[in-house]
Amino acid sequence: MKIGIIGYGSMGKMILEKFIETKTVDPSDLFVSNRTYAKIMDLNKIHPQLNICRNNSDAVKEVDMVFICVKPWEIKIVLSEIGNDIKDNCHIVSLNGSVLFKQLEQIGKNKKISKMIPSVMAEVNKSVTLICHNTYVNYNDKTILKGLLECFGTVTEVPEMEIGMGSELTSCMPGFIGAIFKVITDEAERHTTIPKEQITQMVLETLYGTGTLLLEKGMSFDTLINRVATRGGITEEGTKIIAEKLPEIIKEMFEKTREKRSIITEKAQL
């Protein structure tokens, strides 16, 4: 199976490297293009068999599936460029959840189109990768795509209408978690003589252990809180503050991300 990758930004690069690293796809079956050719022209020095393409049309002429890894408002340009060269049965995979199938199908008429939302956690094989499909994608197409993406971690199919919240819970979540725990470590530093690096390490190890405990024991958040926040104890005081004040911040966070997603969808009108 021949695979095209259009766009060699952070996501396109991650997909290419992961496919090769895990031997999911042979480099000789990968075709990559990028708006700035200079960015990819030396990739053959690392992967001699890789097919480096000077334009997007060349990246799709022979492929059975193409991953479009560009900004939402650039998708129209890419689809227009490859429209006459892409094979009729080629499976198009867009890496942006904000551009709707009905928008993509305005140009990619009668084409098999899926949307894929990866996570930076794919770098450590722990991504929860979301996928959804238009009506032209059959069971076999879904199975092949899922098999390819399992080299990133878990693959979860969701309806298109849920791809927004799904993205917040998976692809965006590492950033949210990082922002939350940066606040915690910064504030902790003001109350202790423990070095910042040690504070960060303590929190990261505890965060990792907490996730492992929850997953391996099948434990709910409520059960965990009840086990740690004993009545009348120190942890209980902290969890009360979080329960009282954090919900409003989280509510505003989701409102802002939903608003931004709507703006992107509107901007990407094809």
Asked if residue 59 belongs to a domain, the reply is yes
Chain segment 38-78, per-residue pLDDT in tens: 999 999 899 999 999 999 999 999 999 999 999 988 888 89
Give the amino acid at 145. Answer: L
If we measure between CA atoms, which residue out of 48, 90, 41 comes closest to residue 66? 90
45 and 141 part of one domain: yes
Asked if residue 253 belongs to a domain, the reply is yes
If we measure between CA atoms, which residue out of 97, 145, 152 comes closest to residue 121? 152
CB 160 within 8 A of CB 113: no
If we measure between CA atoms, which residue out of 118, 211, 124, 207 comes closest to residue 171? 118
Q: What span, in angstroms and rounded, lies between the C-alpha atoms of 5 and 63?
A: 10
113 and 210 part of one domain: no
Three-class SS state of 81: helix
Other CB atoms closer than 10 Å to residue 180's CB: what's the count?
13
214 and 247 part of one domain: yes
Asked if residue 166 belongs to a domain, the reply is no
Q: Tell me, what's the pLDDT at 93?
A: 97
Q: What span, in angstroms and rounded, lies between the C-alpha atoms of 131 and 156?
A: 6
128 and 21 part of one domain: yes
Q: Tell me, what's the pLDDT at 265?
A: 81
Q: Rg for the chain (alpha carbons), in Å?
A: 22
Three-class SS state of 244: helix
Q: What is the CATH number of the domain that holds 64?
A: 3.40.50.720
Q: Please give the distance of CA 164 from its chain centroid, rounded to a whole number.
A: 12
In sign, the C-alpha dihedral spanning 106, 266, 79, 28 is negative
Q: Tell me, what's the pLDDT at 103?
A: 87
Three-class SS state of 98: coil
Q: Tell me, what's the pLDDT at 109?
A: 82
177 and 254 part of one domain: yes
30 and 112 part of one domain: yes
What's phi and psi for 134, nearest 5 deg?
A: -85, 180
10 and 129 part of one domain: yes
147 and 20 part of one domain: yes
Give the pairing of strands 51-52 and 65-68.
Answer: unpaired
Chain segment 125-172, per-residue pLDDT in tens: 999 999 999 999 999 999 999 999 999 999 999 999 999 999 999 999
91 and 185 part of one domain: no
How does residue 269 score in pLDDT terms, banded at 50, 70 and 90?
A: low
177 and 207 part of one domain: yes
CB 14 within 8 A of CB 22: no
Three-class SS state of 31: strand
Chain segment 83-128, per-residue pLDDT in tens: 889 999 999 999 988 888 988 888 878 899 999 999 989 988 999 9
Domain containing 47: what range?
3-158
Q: Tell me, what's the pLDDT at 225?
A: 96
How does residue 270 score in pLDDT terms, banded at 50, 70 and 90?
A: low
153 and 177 part of one domain: no
> Which residues neighbour 245 within 8 Å (Cβ) at sequence distance 6 or greater?
none
How many folded domains does the chain comprise?
Answer: 2
Asked if residue 167 belongs to a domain, the reply is no
If we measure between CA atoms, which residue out of 265, 250, 108, 75 comes closest to residue 179? 250
CB 19 within 8 A of CB 148: yes
Q: Which residues pair with 163 in a beta bridge?
A: none
Does the model's pTM come out above 0.85? yes
Q: Which residues pair with 114 in a beta bridge?
A: 93, 133
Domain end among 116, 134, 158: 158
53 and 17 part of one domain: yes
Q: What is the CATH number of the domain that holds 262?
A: 1.10.3730
Q: What span, in angstroms and rounded, lies between the C-alpha atoms of 138 and 130?
A: 17
Chain segment 5-47, per-residue pLDDT in tens: 999 999 999 999 999 999 999 999 999 999 999 999 999 899 9
> Which residues neighbour 211 within 8 Å (Cβ) at sequence distance 6 or greater?
none
What rounded mean pLDDT belongs to the chain? Answer: 93
If we measure between CA atoms, which residue out of 78, 54, 171 comes closest to residue 116? 171
